[in-house]
């Protein structure tokens, strides 16, 4: 097996040129380390939060605003008014649909002497849990009937269940949110969609909410909302009233097949026309129906700093590789006499080329291992940052594989030129006694 012989040759050469080899390994390790750190962060932040369903799950936007600030062809408001969201929910034209918005409140534990604490809440409708594959540890969500009946039910997160009920079954128990009692119908398993795609206003990489309850119930109890609200025209009523000219609700739909989206889009246009005729919509129909990844793209979820850092790291890797090319060239041509002897003994140019390519690749391998360690360190440093996505930064198996492939491939690429030059050393010149 020639390759093992070449590896042995490579190892000997490392031992003879310790300093030079160390420099090369260090350069590659630094380049790989920084590139993999930034690439992993980018990969995590730009990932698909709903794998398998993201191309048939869509976000709905309608243009309900007035004449002010109207730009023909401009983007409609990011959110829907309460009236439109409730109308679309009632229409049930998709296989699954959910309206939702953010909220907050204070939970009062039932034991005496325990202080109330603040929680983030989501007000939504029954289909939310099945649409987004939300995992349940116990129990289940609520039904459409309960939506309509404004039932006093809630679904709570795993942490909240542990905090309030410490291990015992929470399903059927009562929680007190802002002095109102709600019955727990289900407890979620650990769930943290990355990004927090269904509502970017409450934090693109935030943890999921602690409490979920029907939107209708939240209006009945007049619970606090959280997130972004845009109002227009005459401000003469509470922004959260049914007919208030304010956009604050998110609306998601899901289909069995993504081609059904076109028909739904037509429905949205038809709905806008109806509203226009009745005088509620002032502007011509202007609808948007984007799937999850398109929606994340439009919302520019990945911070531009993260992209910039990734480019920076790869440019740094390029410089490290340039460096490696130079050092490999120096290292290989230093052994011109050895090459001359081997050629004289019958080695073909190809054999020499492969030998040095293997040597370059093995430098890359060692550099990759070291670089992996540096990447692990780098990701640890990222986790110490107080960003909301910080705790997500961790190496996963696919990134591990990418590290090694990148290290070996880039060092082989760097070794191409030096290996070629080494292979074209003229044996006769080298074998002279000078």
Question: What is d(CA 335, CA 14) in angstroms, rounded to the nearest whole number?
Answer: 12
The reply on whether position 42 binds other proteins by CB under 8 A is: no
Number of neighbours of residue 176 by Cβ within 10 angstroms: 16
Please say which residue, 173 or 421, places its beta carbon nearer to other proteins: 421
**CB of residue 90 to other proteins, shortest distance in Å:** 28
Among 15, 18, 67, 257, binds other proteins (CB under 8 A): 67
- Span 205-234, contacts to other proteins by CB under 8 A: 222-224, 233-234
**CB of residue 418 to other proteins, shortest distance in Å:** 9
The reply on whether position 241 binds other proteins by CB under 8 A is: no
The reply on whether position 5 binds other proteins by CB under 8 A is: no
Please say which residue, 34 or 254, places its beta carbon nearer to other proteins: 34
Among 143, 207, 337, 387, binds other proteins (CB under 8 A): 387
**CB of residue 197 to other proteins, shortest distance in Å:** 19
The reply on whether position 32 binds other proteins by CB under 8 A is: no
The reply on whether position 117 binds other proteins by CB under 8 A is: yes
Question: What is d(CA 360, CA 419) in angstroms, rounded to the nearest whole number?
Answer: 8
Q: Determine the interface stretch with other proteins among 129-137, 275-283, 319-327, 350-358 (rule: CB under 8 A).
A: 319-327
Helices 304-334 and 336-344: crossing angle in degrees, nearest 10, is: 60
Please say which residue, 168 or 434, places its beta carbon nearer to other proteins: 434
The reply on whether position 394 binds other proteins by CB under 8 A is: no
Q: What is the 3-state secondary structure of 255-277?
A: CCCCCHHHHHHHHHHHHHHHHHH
214 φ, ψ (degrees, to nearest 5):
-65, 140
Among 326, 351, 365, 402, binds other proteins (CB under 8 A): 326
Do residues 76 and 287 lie in contact, with contact meaning Cβ atoms separated by under 8 Å? yes
Q: Per DSSP, what are the bridge partners of residue 155?
A: 186, 212
Compute the half-sphere exposure of residue 397: CA atoms within 13 Å on the CB side of its CA.
0
9 φ, ψ (degrees, to nearest 5):
-60, -40
Q: Which long-range contacts (CB under 8 A, 24 or more apart) does 13-17 make?
A: 13/331, 13/335, 13/359, 14/363, 17/331, 17/334
Among 130, 235, 274, 398, binds other proteins (CB under 8 A): 235
- Span 119-158, contacts to other proteins by CB under 8 A: none
* Strand pairing report for 180-188 and 153-156: parallel
Q: Residues binding other proteins: what is the number (CB under 8 A)?
A: 54
Among 76, 102, 105, 245, binds other proteins (CB under 8 A): 105
The reply on whether position 259 binds other proteins by CB under 8 A is: no
**CB of residue 55 to other proteins, shortest distance in Å:** 27
**CB of residue 268 to other proteins, shortest distance in Å:** 25
Do residues 96 and 254 lie in contact, with contact meaning Cβ atoms separated by under 8 Å? yes
Question: What is d(CA 395, CA 384) in angstroms, rounded to the nearest whole number?
Answer: 15
Question: What is d(CA 292, CA 294) in angstroms, rounded to the nearest whole number?
Answer: 6
The reply on whether position 344 binds other proteins by CB under 8 A is: no
CA angle 122/126/131 to nearest 5° reads: 90
Among 282, 417, 427, 430, binds other proteins (CB under 8 A): 417
**CB of residue 99 to other proteins, shortest distance in Å:** 21
Unique residue bearing structure tokens 């760097």: 414
Q: Determine the interface stretch with other proteins among 48-56, 116-124, 291-299, 360-368 (rule: CB under 8 A).
A: 116-124
Q: Determine the interface stretch with other proteins among 87-95, 191-199, 250-258, 305-313 (rule: CB under 8 A).
A: 305-313
Compute the half-sphere exposure of residue 229: CA atoms within 13 Å on the CB side of its CA.
17
Question: What is d(CA 155, CA 121) in angstroms, rounded to the nearest whole number?
Answer: 10
The reply on whether position 191 binds other proteins by CB under 8 A is: no
**CB of residue 382 to other proteins, shortest distance in Å:** 9
Distances (CA, A) of 277 to 91, 270, 283, 432: 18, 11, 11, 97
Using DSSP, state whether 406 is helix, strand or coil.
helix
**CB of residue 23 to other proteins, shortest distance in Å:** 5
The reply on whether position 11 binds other proteins by CB under 8 A is: no
Q: Please report, as ranges, the residues that interact with other proteins according to CB under 8 A.
A: 20, 23, 27, 30, 34, 67-70, 104-106, 115-118, 178-179, 222-224, 233-236, 303-305, 307-309, 312-313, 315-316, 318-320, 322-323, 325-327, 329-330, 333-334, 385-387, 417, 421, 433-434
């Amino acid at each position: 097996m020639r390759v093992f012989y070449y590896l042995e040759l490579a190892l000997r050469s490392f031992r003879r040129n310790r300093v030079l080899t160390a420099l090369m390994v260090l350069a590659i390790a630094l380049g790989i380390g920084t590139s993999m750190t930034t690439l992993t962060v980018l990969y995590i932040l730009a990932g698909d939060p709903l794998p398998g369903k993201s191309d048939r799950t869509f976000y709905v936007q309608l243009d309900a605003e007035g004449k002010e600030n109207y730009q023909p062809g401009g983007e409609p408001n990011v959110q829907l008014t309460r009236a439109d969201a409730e109308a679309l929910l009632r229409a049930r034209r998709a296989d699954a649909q959910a309206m939702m918005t953010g909220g907050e409140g204070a939970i009062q534990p039932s034991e005496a002497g325990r202080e109330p604490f603040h929680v983030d809440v989501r007000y939504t409708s029954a289909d939310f849990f099945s649409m987004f594959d939300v995992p349940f540890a116990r129990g289940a969500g609520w039904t459409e009937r309960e939506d309509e009946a404004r039932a006093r039910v809630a679904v709570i997160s795993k942490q909240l269940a542990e905090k309030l009920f410490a291990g015992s079954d929470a399903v059927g128990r009562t929680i007190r949110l802002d002095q109102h009692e709600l019955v727990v119908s289900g407890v979620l398993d650990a769930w943290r969609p990355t990004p927090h795609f269904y509502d970017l206003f409450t934090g693109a990489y935030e943890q999921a909410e602690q409490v979920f309850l029907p939107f209708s119930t939240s209006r009945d109890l007049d619970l606090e909302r959280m997130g972004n609200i845009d109002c227009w025209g005459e401000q003469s009523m509470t922004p959260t009233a049914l007919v208030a000219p304010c956009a604050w609700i998110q609306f998601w739909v899901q289909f069995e097949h993504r081609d059904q989206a076109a028909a739904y889009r037509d429905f949205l246009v038809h709905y806008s026309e109806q509203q226009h005729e009745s005088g509620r919509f002032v502007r011509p129909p202007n609808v948007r129906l984007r799937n999850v990844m398109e929606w994340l793209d439009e919302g520019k979820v990945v911070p531009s700093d993260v992209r910039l850092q990734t480019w920076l790291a790869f440019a740094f890797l390029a410089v490290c590789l340039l460096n490696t090319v130079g050092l490999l060239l120096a290292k290989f041509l230093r052994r011109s006499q050895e090459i001359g002897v081997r050629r004289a003994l019958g080695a073909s140019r190809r054999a020499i080329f492969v030998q040095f390519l293997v040597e370059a690749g093995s430098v890359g391998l060692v550099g990759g291992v070291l670089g992996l360690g540096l990447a692990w360190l780098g990701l640890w440093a990222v986790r110490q940052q107080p960003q909301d996505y910080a705790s997500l930064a961790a190496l996963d198996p696919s990134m591990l594989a990418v590290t090694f492939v990148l290290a070996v491939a880039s060092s082989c690429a760097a070794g191409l030129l030096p290996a070629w030059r080494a292979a074209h050393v003229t044996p006769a010149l080298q074998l002279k006694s000078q």
